[in-house]
Structure 1
Amino acid sequence: MAEQRMQPVASLLLLLNFCMYAIVLGIGAWSMNKAISHGFHIGADYSLPAHFSPIYFPMGNAATGFFVMFSLIAGVAGAASVITGVSHIQSSTTASLPAAVSAASIAWSLTVLAMGFGCKEIELGMRNARLRTMEAFLIILSATQLIYIIAIYLTRK
């Protein structure tokens, strides 16, 4: 009986998380594109600038590069976990449960890692509105993804 009540909750959380991961991927892709387009330019003598960093981002602070890269990885893992989540919700068998829970757990752990870099970025300051939006989404996603893992675990028969 409890598994039938949790299935709509898991479906709603699955849809919500997918939309939020898609937004995180969009903002992260914009940030990465801007960093690549406006990065360091190596001169004709191929000498690197004094404070060269391969993860230089023209916006934000020292934590922005790590934050954006791990946000992109978490976004891809979160969107990929939707595939196993949809499969599990459609079948709701114990055979599909391990794949759904493990994919969601990996996505959650990467989201928490990206959220940690987001917290460091908040601490350092000097970031734009898009980065603040991505930080907020990752903080919310770290909670909703965990609730989704619990809900999907409870949908087993």
Structure 2
Amino acid sequence: MYVVVLGIGGWAMNRAIDHGFIIGPGFDLPAHFSPIYFPMGNAATGFFVMFALIAGVVGAASAISGANHVRSWNPNSMPAAASAATIAWTLTLLAMGFACKEIQLEIRNARLRTMEAFLIILSATQLFFIAAIHGA
């Protein structure tokens, strides 16, 4: 699921870079300029996409660390897997908070709605992942 979040977030970031503001000699900044401008979505989209990308990378790393812990199954690998999972969960919760703000502001496209749904689901499943690592 984190890979899907990374794919959609990468698309959104690429679109923001391709269709963002052009600033140079002779160009004035728009009245409400934001360095995190996204041509789709609403005011929360920039923060949502950036934190979703960060949470996606850390979440994928935590899944790799958890798989390594299950593969080796010794007490020495458990702290690394548990700490990576906890950090991924907190970043996922932060991205989920921006997803909730984006839902409240209402203007967004289908891809952003998909990423919001995935992050809301991931916030719960990552907590179960942490419980499973500690239970093992």
Shorter-normalised TM range: over 0.9
What are the residue-to-residue correspondences of 1:1-150 with 2, within 5 Å?
Answer: 20-150=1-131
For 2:92 and 2:73, the matched residues in 1 are separated by: 25
Aligned length: 136
- Over aligned residues, Cα RMSD in angstroms? 0.9
For 2:53 and 2:80, the matched residues in 1 are separated by: 22
For 1:154 and 1:66, the matched residues in 2 are separated by: 34
How far did residue 46 of structure 1 move?
4.8
Aligned-pair identity in percent equals 72
Question: Which region of structure 1 is more displaced relative to structure 2, 39-48 or 139-148?
Answer: 39-48
Q: Which amino acid aligns with 1:36?
A: I
What are the ranges of 5 or more consecutive residues in structure 1 without an aligned counterpart? Answer: 1-19
SS at match of 1:119: helix
Question: Which region of structure 1 is more displaced relative to structure 2, 80-89 or 139-148?
Answer: 80-89
Question: How high is the TM-score relative to the length of structure 1?
Answer: 0.84
User: Greater Rg, structure 1 or structure 2?
Assistant: 1
Question: How high is the TM-score relative to the length of structure 2?
Answer: 0.97
How far did residue 41 of structure 1 move?
1.3
For 1:97 and 1:124, the matched residues in 2 are separated by: 40
Whose RCO is larger (CA < 8 A, sep 6+)? Answer: 1
